Structure 1
Amino acid sequence: MSDTVLTCENVGIRFGGLQAVKDLNLKINKGELLGLIGPNGAGKTTVFNMITGVYAPTEGDIILNGEKINGFKPHKIVESGIARTFQNIRLFGYLSVLDNVKIAMNKDMKYSILNGMFRTKGYWKEEFEVNSKAMEILKLFDLDNYKQYSANTLPYGQQRKLEIARAMATNPSLLLLDEPAAGMNPTETEELMNTIKFIRDKFGITILLIEHDMKLVLGICERLMVLNYGQVLAEGDPIEVINDEKVINAYLGSGGA
């Protein structure tokens, strides 16, 4: 059986006359941590949106664990094994920390509306199991002591961790992190880097990461892919990639040195 988790074959998308992404060929293997970098507007989040069903690619195929997922709705993508976070935190701010994680497990709940209305034995059994699992996840992220806090009362760094915890609650085989260090101070970024390493090592999960913080990128990524104007500019070993003259020019302009 192949170790390849995700494959993008000649994937592209056009919005009217704008070709946002063109001929993207990407392969990520089980347990790998791949960084997707590039200047603002390079098409990185658009790639995430195609992989997660927000946009349907106009060209090419996206294959997850051997199954073509082109055209799947976002909820179906999650059921297939992909979870993501967003550039801008999208927690349910007025719900508790615990409920934010439990919501992610809704896809696995089996009891019926009637069971829920009448609080049957089956209802309580499932609720107990979900609650226990959610608490285990919160404990892994050192958030269990905040379980009853409203999500929007947490410090910024902990909100980022909660969003990752919620994504992990869907039991994904592939986790997409879209600029998880955005807005963080150096201490929070260091803690985030350790968190990402921890979940990859503990769960053997495959991670695709968009990030501008090069310290974080070089600290955890095993391979980098650079996008520029919607096309792959460079790919390979992180140190070699960031020292590639084409990459330096893309970030700094043709006069950059």
Structure 2
Amino acid sequence: MENRKSILKCDNISISFGGLKAVNGFNLDVKEGDLIGLIGPNGAGKTTVFNMLSGVYSPTEGSIFLDGESVGGLGVYKVSQKGVSRTFQNIRLFDYLSVIDNVKLAMNQDMRYNVISGMLRLKSYWQEEREATKRALEILKILDLQSYANDSAGNLPYGAQRKLEIARAIATNPKLLLLDEPAAGMNAIETEALMDTIRMIRDKYKLAIVLIEHDMKLVLGICERLLVLNHGIVIAEGNPREVVKKEEVVSAYLGSGYGGDNA
């Protein structure tokens, strides 16, 4: 996988809230096919990093480049259009819509029919709707959610809701997928299945993936590179199984009783 294209590059980005630096001098280079983990204690700045990468926040210092183009400060919608998609710590679905409609909504930015075509239900409208339905079903099948396609999203089991969030993120055609605690609330069996799903998504869609996660079994099981954030500063980076053994990481996050080889 040499000479892979750089998808995202963060150059010394920082952000302050009320004089407090939540993230300070964060650097990251994400290449095609990367699967990177971002860990750290609560309040370390992990989700703040994701908020900057996805356009929710604008860095107060530094630059963010996507495919070589500066995207810092563009806003969520434009950053999404350019290829960054994410999930959230707290599941955000349209509970009363069907599973398939949740996925189709994420394709909105790719729809080409206009308001008139939609109102009058012209041929162009129905053609795009058929194509969107077909693609949504394909995504649901990949994530083993096809049997729930016509169910209300709010009625899904918790693990399936988590996967639906990922399906919806994939539907935006991202180059970079940001997963914020995808295994939160899952049991061991669900987490194991999720690990396989994340690997499969990366390979099938040729995505770069960055994930925040507290489940170290998942982190060490799938991540190929690991960054550890503490008080807004990266304190360690590199091979996951080497990083988690570093004294500063054990002290700041994992605790003295952590056994990295057993995770």
Q: What interval of TM-score do these two structures reach, taking the shorter chain for normalisation?
A: over 0.9
For the residues of structure 2 that align with 1:185 and 1:50, how far apart are their CA atoms? 30
Q: Distance in 2 between matches of 1:76 and 1:33?
A: 24
Partner of 2:185: 183
AA aligned to 1:186 is A
Please give the secondary structure, in 1, of the residue aligned with 2:251. helix
Residues 55 and 79, structure 2, Cα contact 8 Å, conserved in 1: yes
Q: Which residue of 1 aligns with 2:195?
A: 193
Extract structure 1 runs of 4+ deviating beyond 3 A.
none
What does the per-residue CA deviation read over 1:212-253, in whole Å, with 9 as the maximum and x for residues that have no partner? 000000000000000000001000000110000010010156
| 1:106-151 deviation per Cα after TM superposition (whole angstroms, max 9, x unaligned) | 0011111111111101111111111111111111111111111000
Any gaps of 5 or more consecutive residues in structure 2? 259-263
CA distance in 1, matches of 2:187, 2:144: 19
- Equivalent residue number for residue 146 of structure 1: 148
Cα displacement string for residues 67-103 of structure 1 (whole angstroms, at most 9, x for unaligned residues) = 1001111011110000000000001111000000000
Matching residue of 1:166 = 168
Kindly report which structure 2 residues correspond to 1:18-33, keeping only aligned pairs within 5 A, or say none: 18-33=20-35
Q: Which residue of 2 aligns with 1:38?
A: 40
Matched residue SS, 1:194: helix
CA-atom RMSD in angstroms:
1.3
| CA distance in 2 between partners of 1:200 and 1:220 (Å) | 11
1:2, CA displacement in angstroms? Answer: 6.2
Q: Which moved more, 1:97-106 or 1:192-201?
A: 192-201
Indicate which of 236, 239, 247 corresponds to 1:237: 239
Whether the 8 Å contact between 1:224 and 1:237 is mirrored in structure 2 is yes
Contact 1:249–1:256 (CA under 8 A) maintained in structure 2: no
Give the aligned residue type for 2:242: E
Equivalence for 1:16: 18
- 2:82 alignment counterpart: 80
Paired-residue identity, %:
63
Name the SS for the 1:163 alignment partner: helix
Q: How many residues align?
A: 256
State the Cα distance separating 1:256 from its structure 2 match.
7.1
TM-score (norm. length: structure 2): 0.95
TM-score relative to the length of structure 1:
0.97
Q: Gaps (5+ residues) in structure 1?
A: none
One-letter identity of the residue aligned with 1:116: G
Deviation at 1:195, TM superposition (A): 0.5
1:88-167 paired onto structure 2 within 5 Å: 88-167=90-169
